[in-house]
Amino acid sequence: MRIIISPAKKMNIDTDTLGYQNLPVFLEQTELLMSCIQKLPYEECKALWNCNDNIARQNFARFADMELKKQLTPAILSYEGIQYQYMAPSVFENSQYDYIQEHLRILSGFYGVLKPMDGVTPYRLEMQAKLSVNDKNDLYDFWGRQLYDEVLDSSRIVINLASKEYSKCIEKYLMPEDTYITCVFGEYDGKKVRQKGTYAKMARGEMVRFMAENKIEDPQEIKKFDRLGYTYMEELSTEKEYVYVTD
């Protein structure tokens, strides 16, 4: 079974808490993307990143001096978004690190697919960024099927805790024999389940922690998730979508 999550825009360098274990599997492709971005003038980079001047300047400098094999941080500790804050991997026990290293995969516009303990450097490149590389129209085209092939294991079970921007990298290539379950966290008004971005990110992080703490191997077990006030709703769920609601 594999769990997929999105990266976060905000990243840090932490070479003290834990050492990284490996380099990312698609580092050759990452080097190509890095080289392409390094050739772009500042204004094109800012447009690519769709951000303000402060963030653009920070990342323009990062790419100018970027090293993909030095001063690396384990991916799970490098990302600082809400999902990662609620996952709180910095206080995991060793067995929980072992669990996520086997089961969890982080999808990335820059690195493709990351294991939690892969060494990364801070970058900015969202999957939906309009970057043309090697005659590929965008990053979805650039990465293609290889992200799906890398994520899948022999069970062919995938628990989707990623945003649509990233999950569609996998969904496009799903086969009939795959079991692909998307977790939805929201509020139910009697007619529709409404997701709110921040709260959904919080719940996704808590779900990863819940699975790691309980060493979950069977998707049925995640129906027991009850953190942050969420309850699994059987009547609103399907085989492909598990729905959790809160008041």
Q: What is the pLDDT of residues 27-60, one digit of tens each?
A: 999 999 999 999 999 999 999 999 999 999 999 9
Share of the chain above pLDDT 90, in %: 91
Residue 15 has pLDDT above 90, yes or no: no
SS3 state at 4: strand
DSSP annotation of 94 reads H
**Which residue from 199, 198, 196, 222 is spatially nearest to 209, judged by alpha carbons?**
222
Query: Tokens 């942050």 — which residue?
Result: 228
Query: Tokens 């709110």 — which residue?
Result: 196
Question: How crowded is the C-beta side of 219, counted as CA atoms within 13 Å?
Answer: 20
Average the pLDDT over 56-71 and give the result: 95
Number of neighbours of residue 132 by Cβ within 10 angstroms: 12
- The structural domain count of the chain equals 1
pLDDT of residue 191: 86
Average the pLDDT over 154-158 and give the result: 97
Average the pLDDT over 140-146 and give the result: 96
What is the tens place of the pLDDT at every residue in 176-219? 999 999 999 999 988 889 988 899 999 999 999 999 999 999 99
Parent domain of 57: 2-245
Tell me the C-alpha distance between 156 and 174, whole Å: 10
Residue 8 has pLDDT above 90, yes or no: yes
**Which residue from 121, 125, 120 is spatially nearest to 110, judged by alpha carbons?**
125
Number of neighbours of residue 199 by Cβ within 10 angstroms: 17
Burial 25-40 (b: 16+ CB within 10 A, else e): bbbebbeebbeebeee
Residue 134 has pLDDT above 90, yes or no: no
Partner residues linked to 120 by β-bridges:
73
pTM for the complete prediction?
0.96
